[in-house]
Amino acid sequence: MISLLAFGFYSNSFAKKRLPAKRAFAIYTISAPKIDGKVDKVWFRAPVQKGFLQRTPRQGEKASNDTRFYVLYDLKNIYFLFVMIDRDSRSIPARLVDRDHEFYPDDNINFYLDTYNDTRKAFYFSTNPRGVEQDGLISENGTNVDMTWDGIFKVAARRNRYGWVAEFAIPYKTLRFEDNLRYQIWGFNVWRVRKKSREESYWSLVDQNYLPFRLDRGGVLIGMKNVQSGHHLNLLPYTTAKHNKSFGSNQTVDFNAGLDLKYNITSDLTLDLTANPDFGQVEIDEEQINLDKRFEVQLEEKRPFFLESTNLFQSPFYQLFYSRRIGALNDIKAGTKLTGRIGSYSFGALSALTGGWENFGLGDPDVPPTDELFSVFRLQKDVLASSNVGMMIVDREANLRGKHHGSNRVGSADWSIQHGQNYFIGQAVYSQNTDYFSQLNSYEKTSGGALYSQVGHYGRLFWFDLHAHYYQPDFGVDSTGYFPKLPGKGQKQVGLYSEIHPLINRRFLRSWGFGLKPTVLQDSDESSPGFGIQGTFWLEAPDQSMVKIAFTSYRDVETNLFNPADELNYWGRDISAELSTDPGKNVSLKLKWNFDSQYYFQTHTTGYNEGAEAELKIKPNSNSNLDFGFKRRWFFDRDRVRMPVARIGQSDVKISTLRGRYLFTREIFARGFLQFTNGAELPSFVFLPTEQRYQLYYDVWNRLSANVLFGWRFLPGSTLYLAYTQEWEDNLTRQLASTNRVFFFKLSYLWSL
């Protein structure tokens, strides 16, 4: 009766809203259920929702084990109960892992809330049988999932003799939706992953012709009446203490404090302010092998302020905003961010100030380093059923009030058009840079454009993608974003990717696939184009073990970086093989080998590089794991003779890593990381008087780094961290000696008003 009445009311009153065939109903409750993994009687006031269908392995068939769920709500929260029936409940895999850590091989239950019911953006929540929190933001109709977003919610799960259950309580203030609606209609879907049978079953089936997070294939959640997110104020004060001892310097002890403020101006508009923000990074960056030292290595962002709502500031191809640029030259003093939605428009604005308080971070030419003001604005407009167009502006002002003012400005327009299984994506960018070089006491002004376009079709059996991009020689986003290109060099490129990937579900073979990618490209300073073809073949076993083989054959053209008139044409060939065993086992292994052609810009010659990688993962029990990693890469000339270290950097690079994780509870954890590399290096130019030119040389040394982190999330949003970091190097002595040692303490407490 409840379902019939709700269907009649909603279908008549909300004809303009998306109302697919699958509808779940939420029932108002006065008594809130206790979130403890046990099933309270209050849950049975809500209608049962069931009828899950398999996506894999047998698409469209009824799920092998039943899944049911119930939805309640009150004036503050929406509540979910999921009941996962399992005939083999004793063998349900479940581990205690960090929040947002990959659940595989655990069973898990997932759902999203598309609170505007527009199939464009949604809040994603998930858990495993140990009640580990996982959440994120889904955008671009399911093609982009941002797992860096952390919302405030409660979850508990527990195994029993019938299977397992999970309960969620999600406050409305964690979500964004239209407050002015009396009746809410939210896009909604639920799916369950069962490890033992590798089965994915959906409440509203998303078949294999679409990506798993596809929003327009889901159902809706209805029944909520007169709910509001309200105006909420969150205050997050923090304090830190840092003890630092560097080689050749005295010990220092620094105390710091700051405040982050988050205010929901409306249900659709959120303001973030921060004074003396906590941008401290408690974990060290992982070493990487740089195969082409003409380009910098991209580092992962780990600072909390920049991780929030990162999906808003992403664009389809060119990364115009690379947040690791902020704070690279000076301390960050303040930041602000405004994000929201008005009608069919979504937007985000961010500003961060670096430098000294005495000049408000706007520059003093007599005091290095450079003071900077970063500003980012992003706007997207919903068009058609599940598509959008957008624009983005990124600006960096260096020494804005100083004598030597420089600026880096980038503007972009982009589009993402989706129709069924077809897509059309593109981006047009224009950059304008004015940089001051103190060594030359002069300015350099450059400007240039770039264009990217992509059209394709993704289906159950095959994937087709045609893409092209072009950028002018003086296009550059090095000061605001990340896009690897050489100064003064443009490029045009066209590529086609086609792939077949049938899911066959045989006894010893679950799936196989083959991809082929031909490409043609030409740099602006080259007389002829380069071209190549890349192929990839893989086999996947039922337990997710995999074998992958890749090969590339290409003709490339390179110009001498130190003599542009000198051009080199050569044929290159790359081949690699990779084997990985079931990551769900207590012991798993991944091996990779490659043999590639190599261009050395330092000597303007070609050769080879050969590499080997190994990763061993051990899970002693359900709440701990150890990961051992090793990478080695050799660099040779055409005659298979090792390249000289002084000329190209380390020619036999080794990187060893050891990671460990132990969780005492879901809230208390310890992590450790140890890494060694012999590839720490510093390039320098040496003048050769007899040849009247400069030569590039490298100094190379060993580095050992260690990091231990203890964390306690004692309340939602409130944390305590203790971290120890130490580095040893042998560049100044004949043996490893300590160069840097840091003890770090941080305490933050969330006040929600």
Cα 152 from Cα 744, distance rounded (Å): 26
**Residue 267 main-chain phi, psi, to 5 deg:** -65, -20
Residues 135-188: tens digit of each pLDDT: 999 988 888 888 878 888 999 999 998 999 999 999 998 888 888 888 999 999
Give the pLDDT confidence score for residue 12 in this predicted structure. 41
Position 124, amino acid: Y
Cα 713 from Cα 748, distance rounded (Å): 10
For residues 340 and 269, the answer to whether their CB atoms sit within 8 Å is yes
Give the pLDDT confidence score for residue 283 in this predicted structure. 64
- 108, 110, 514, 548, 555 from 552: Cα distances, Å: 38, 39, 14, 14, 10
For residues 111 and 80, the answer to whether their CB atoms sit within 8 Å is yes
Give the pLDDT confidence score for residue 365 in this predicted structure. 47
For residues 615 and 637, the answer to whether their CB atoms sit within 8 Å is no
Distance, first Cα to last Cα, the chain: 40
- The answer to whether the predicted template modeling score (pTM) of the entire model surpasses 0.75 is yes
Q: What is the dihedral of CA 97, 100, 101, 105, to 10 degrees?
A: 90
Q: What are the chain's domains?
A: 2-225 (2.60.40.1190)
Give the pLDDT confidence score for residue 422 in this predicted structure. 92
Alpha-helical (H) ranges within 297-375 are 304-307
Please list the ranges in the chain whose pLDDT falls under 70. Answer: 1-18, 248, 277-285, 287, 302-304, 307-309, 356-370, 401-403, 437-442, 687-688, 691-693
Residues 471-488: tens digit of each pLDDT: 999 999 988 999 988 888
Which tokens go with 324?
């690791």
Which tokens go with 150?
């952390």
Cα 510 from Cα 200, distance rounded (Å): 14
Give the pLDDT confidence score for residue 2 in this predicted structure. 40
For residues 623 and 95, the answer to whether their CB atoms sit within 8 Å is yes
